[in-house]
């Protein structure tokens, strides 16, 4: 890590150019005090089961108590089965969770929390500073592993993705949200000035548009993680955030145990809220956003879980049509994912803890020495990480 004495010198040079640590069972972890109640499908309850015996017992228990099974998925990538039930009239989500987990203690039962995108579109007005700030080498780096994106749909016909191979899959029923956000994220990852030879596995999870904007259910996120684990896609970009959910918690633990490195936006709900998820999980790399001068994005969530900062204020997106500038922790996240996929030492890492340590030792401090709740370990740098 840069010494504090070098911090101002490093930032001055940069600004000339213009953001597995815990294996405890998921159900043993506490939810934040101010948990949101935002859900997709208010009468749904979802159970994750570890084996065929527990799955059968859950089905029998649910049927005997008046629950209607409406969906079932075998999650081979995570080693789980997901059962979705409609709750009987008069039964609350909390009552359903308590009753079903008591009947099948090895299960994880939860409601279907909603997760939202974390970016804001603005009119043009700044320079394309991000690569200079992070010290990406001229000509970019070779992508050393495929990249998973859990987001909206992606417009695979976009000229910004001509050099990338994109495999897509959808994890919802019904109408899809607009493909703008996922395409923006993919375009930043596949920009040849940053990465070459990119192969993307795109999981479209935003299928329930609302008046306030698109949302994704926790069930869709779990199924997307299962698909990526099954496809052996280790590096996963999650430019979304929402409340704590025990189903997602278990899926993240299982994914990390299988070697996946999840990189997630800390969220744009401001500096005084509890952690948002999945960035709040200890098995996830949590990314915040800074501007061209290394100042924190004013709406970024803060806390001890923040790992690393990347450019995320007034980012010029390389797509067709009128130029657009994007701000938010969503748009900072792909810069960190790209940096990880380009680094041979990260590809060889054995755990999320090893990846976090690599980021810590190659970052430029932006706040107090060491890790802090605003910038984490500081600004992610990409110099000297790729040799070809």
Task: Give this prediction's pTM.
Answer: 0.84
Q: What 3-state class would DSSP assign to 321?
A: coil
Mean pLDDT of the chain: 86
DSSP one-letter code for 196 = E
Pick the more confident residue, 21 or 305: 305
What average pLDDT does this structure show over 250-260?
97
Please give the Cα distance from 22 to 356 (Å, whole number).
13
Give pLDDT, residue 121: 54
d(CA 279, CA 269): 13
Instruction: Give the separation between CA 109 and CA 27, rounded to whole angstroms.
Output: 9
Least confident range from 118-122, 160-164, 274-278, 352-356: namely 118-122
Give the domains, in start order, of the chain with CATH numbers. 4-23+116-380 (3.40.50.200), 41-111 (3.30.70.260)
pLDDT greater than 70 at residue 383: yes
Residues 6 or more apart whose Cβ sits within 8 Å of residue 66: 88
Do 273 and 297 contact (CB within 8 A), yes or no?
no
Average pLDDT over residues 2-7: 35
Model confidence band, residue 10 (pLDDT cutoffs 50, 70, 90): very low
Q: How many residues are given for the chain? A: 388
Residue 174: predicted pLDDT: 80
Model confidence at 81: pLDDT above 90: yes
Q: Higher confidence at residue 316 or residue 12?
A: 316
Mean pLDDT over 171-190 rounds to: 89
């Amino acid at each position: 890590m840069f010494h504090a004495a070098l911090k101002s010198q490093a930032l001055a040079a940069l600004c000339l150019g213009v953001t597995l640590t815990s294996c405890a069972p998921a159900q043993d972890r506490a939810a934040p005090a101010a948990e949101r109640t935002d859900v997709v499908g208010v009468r749904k309850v979802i159970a994750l089961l570890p084996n065929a015996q527990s799955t059968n017992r859950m089905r029998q228990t649910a049927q005997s108590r008046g629950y209607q099974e409406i969906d079932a998925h075998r999650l081979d990538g995570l080693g789980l089965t997901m059962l979705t039930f409609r709750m009987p009239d008069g039964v609350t989500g909390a009552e359903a969770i308590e009753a079903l987990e008591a009947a099948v203690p090895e299960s994880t039962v939860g409601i279907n929390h909603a997760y939202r995108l974390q970016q804001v579109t603005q009119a043009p007005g700044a320079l394309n500073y991000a690569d200079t700030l992070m010290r990406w080498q001229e000509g970019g780096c070779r992508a050393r592993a495929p990249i998973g994106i859990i987001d909206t749909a992606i417009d695979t016909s976009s000229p910004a993705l001509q050099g990338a191979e994109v495999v897509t899959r959808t994890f919802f029923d019904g109408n899809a949200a607009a493909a703008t956000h996922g395409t923006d994220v993919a375009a930043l990852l596949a920009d040849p000035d940053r990465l070459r030879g990119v192969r993307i596995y795109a999981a479209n999870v935003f299928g329930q548009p609302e008046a306030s904007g698109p949302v994704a259910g926790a069930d869709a996120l779990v199924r997307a993680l299962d698909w990526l684990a099954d496809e052996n896609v280790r590096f996963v970009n999650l430019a979304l955030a929402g409340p704590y959910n025990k189903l997602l918690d278990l899926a993240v633990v299982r994914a990390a145990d299988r070697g996946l490195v999840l990189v997630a936006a800390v969220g744009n709900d401001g500096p005084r809220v509890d952690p948002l998820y999945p960035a709040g999980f200890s098995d996830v790399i949590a990314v915040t956003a800074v501007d061209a001068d290394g100042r924190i994005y004013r709406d970024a969530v803060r806390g001890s879980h923040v790992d690393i900062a990347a450019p995320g204020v007034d980012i010029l997106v390389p797509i067709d049509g009128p130029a657009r500038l994007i701000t938010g922790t969503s748009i900072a996240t792909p810069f960190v994912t790209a940096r990880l996929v380009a680094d041979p030492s990260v590809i060889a890492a054995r755990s999320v803890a090893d990846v976090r340590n690599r980021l810590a030792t190659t970052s430029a401090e932006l706040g107090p020495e060491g890790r802090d709740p605003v910038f984490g370990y500081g600004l992610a740098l990409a110099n000297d990480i790729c040799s070809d």
